[in-house]
Amino acid sequence: MASAWLKASTMLTAAVVGLAPAAAARAEPAPPPAAQTVLVQAGDTLWGLARRNGTTVAELQRLNHLGTSTLIRIGQTLILSESSRAARVAVAVAYAKAQIGKPYRFATAGPETFDCSGLVMRAWQAAGVRLPRVTYDQIKVGRRVTRDQLEAGDLVFTNNGGHVMLYIGDGQVVNAGHTGVTVSQQPLPRTERVVAFVRLPD
């Protein structure tokens, strides 16, 4: 009798345990969405890009600050989805890298020659962000970060704030240095040469 009771008790315990709700799994935060951009190729049109990517010409015009224009150029980076910081950074970096090899010329801001602040201004303008024209005003925009906090798109100032470069990630900057050189990709300057690392507002 005792044996039968023990067996029944064991089976009941097993049933209760089996019916107990499992501990809720902890939800992991979703990763941030990737920047949705496209590089314009030969033969692309705004209508064709809109159709291939499930959007509209009007939406592409809005996201890329084109107004009513439908003109796009080869090598231009267009935002396809709602403009996030990642998307804007991707456009600014792509613009700056596309200027590599063009001559430096003081007081110019493209399209064929650039000085340092002109390059940075145009890169961020391509992403829909307006910056002042000169370095001494650009350094006042946004907030200061440390070298360890650097992210692509941040501005790197040297020469007591008289020179600016665009950080593109992986320890590299795009730099329009001085007369006689071309826009180039270079290693990030040593910390002692830098007067400020600046992150633009979202």
The catalytic residues are 116, 163, 175
Q: Are 186 and 172 in contact (CB under 8 A)?
A: yes
Q: Which strand ranges, in their side-by-side order, compose the sheet holding 184-187?
A: 143-145, 194-199, 155-158, 163-169, 172-175, 184-187
d(CA 48, CA 113): 31
139 Cβ neighbours under 8 A, 6+ residues apart: 155, 157, 161, 164, 195, 196, 198
